[in-house]
């Protein structure tokens, strides 16, 4: 069974991350499938909105650490992660997230690129990169500061502090709070509303609001290089080992 499923209905493409036993942590094939879905939505004018969600009561817990690349192999061949991130940055079709449970790592940073984020008040959003001796990715080192200001962004990134959906809504990371059990329905309603509007005008408006993405793409490339440095460092090795062994890391 595919770990990313899609369903197209009334001009809305529903995309679901489905590895519930790992809280929808992303593998490289899942990144490929997500990128392909977004590329399809961008190329097909019949798609007027996308809903992105997760199976089993969680959105996405980040990367599947069991399949985490090492520093030597991470840059060999096409990078599925960067393909997915480029699809997010380049999307003109509106994308709505349905966030329940955990949204961590890439599951949190992807939200910063979307047009509507619906979440339950008790969902848990965290940017945990420093705990793994890594830097934030997917442009989040730029977008979080733009959105929140430096000190509030630092509170989330440097402390890797988890926040619930209610706090994320106050900060502006979440656009709409929905009651428990109502997140998917609300996200679908917003997507249907967007799909009913003039589709080309919607896409033009989104492109205008995003503006020139050159600075964002340059920051994403810089973050990617820093991630590989972290993966190859002694700190990164100890952080990842401690994570797998469920203990506190020792950085000396």
pLDDT (0 to 100) of residue 227: 87
Stretch 167-190: mean pLDDT: 96
Q: Report the mean per-residue pLDDT for the chain.
A: 92
Does residue 75 register a pLDDT over 50? no
Q: How many CB atoms lie within 10 A of CB 100?
A: 25
| % of the chain at pLDDT higher than 70 | 94
Q: Look up the pTM and report it.
A: 0.91
pLDDT at residue 1, as a whole number: 58
Helix 140-148 × helix 214-231 angle, to 10°: 120
- Distance CA(112)–CA(97), nearest Å, equals 10
Block residue for tokens 């393909």: 83
| DSSP-assigned letter for residue 69 | P
Confidence of residue 68 (pLDDT cuts 50, 70, 90): low
CA–CA separation, 202 and 224 (whole Å): 31
Mean pLDDT in residue range 19-25:
96
Each residue's pLDDT tens digit, 214-248 = 999 999 999 999 888 888 888 888 888 888 888 88
Tokens of 66: 């069991």
Side-chain-side CA neighbours of residue 250 (13 Å):
3
Average pLDDT on 155-167 reads: 96
pLDDT of residue 238: 87
When pLDDT is cut at 50, 70 and 90, the band that residue 194 belongs to is very high
> Does position 146 have pLDDT exceeding 80, yes or no?
yes
pLDDT at 116: 98
Task: Report the pLDDT averaged over residues 105-121.
Answer: 97
Is 4-180 in CATH node 1.10.3720.10?
no
E strands, the chain, are 4-9, 12-17, 49-54, 95-99, 102-104, 116-120, 124-126, 163-164, 176-178
- Ranges of each domain in the chain: 4-180
């Amino acid at each position: 069974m595919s770990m990313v499923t899609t369903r197209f209905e009334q001009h809305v493409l529903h995309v679901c991350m489905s590895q519930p036993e790992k809280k929808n942590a992303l593998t490289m094939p899942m990144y490929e499938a997500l990128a392909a879905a977004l590329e399809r939505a961008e190329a097909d004018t019949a798609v007027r909105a996308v809903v992105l969600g997760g199976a089993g009561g969680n959105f996405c817990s980040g990367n599947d650490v069991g399949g985490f690349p090492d520093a030597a192999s991470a840059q060999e061949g096409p990078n599925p992660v960067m393909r997915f991130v480029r699809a997010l940055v380049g999307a003109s079709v509106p994308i709505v997230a349905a966030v329940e449970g955990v949204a961590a790592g890439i599951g949190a940073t992807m939200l910063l690129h979307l047009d509507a984020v619906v979440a339950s008040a008790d969902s848990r959003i965290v940017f945990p990169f420093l705990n793994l001796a890594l830097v934030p990715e997917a442009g989040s080192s730029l977008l979080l500061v733009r959105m929140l200001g430096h000190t509030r962004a630092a509170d989330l990134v440097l402390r890797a502090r988890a926040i619930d959906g209610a706090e994320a809504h106050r900060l502006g990371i979440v656009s709409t709070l929905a009651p428990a059990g109502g997140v998917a329905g609300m996200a679908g309603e917003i997507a249907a509303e967007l799909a009913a509007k003039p589709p080309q005008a919607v896409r033009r408006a989104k492109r205008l609001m995003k503006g020139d993405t050159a600075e964002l793409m340059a920051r994403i490339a810089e973050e990617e290089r820093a991630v590989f440095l972290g993966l190859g460092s002694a700190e990164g090795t100890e952080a990842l080992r401690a994570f797998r062994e469920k203990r506190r890391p020792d950085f000396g």
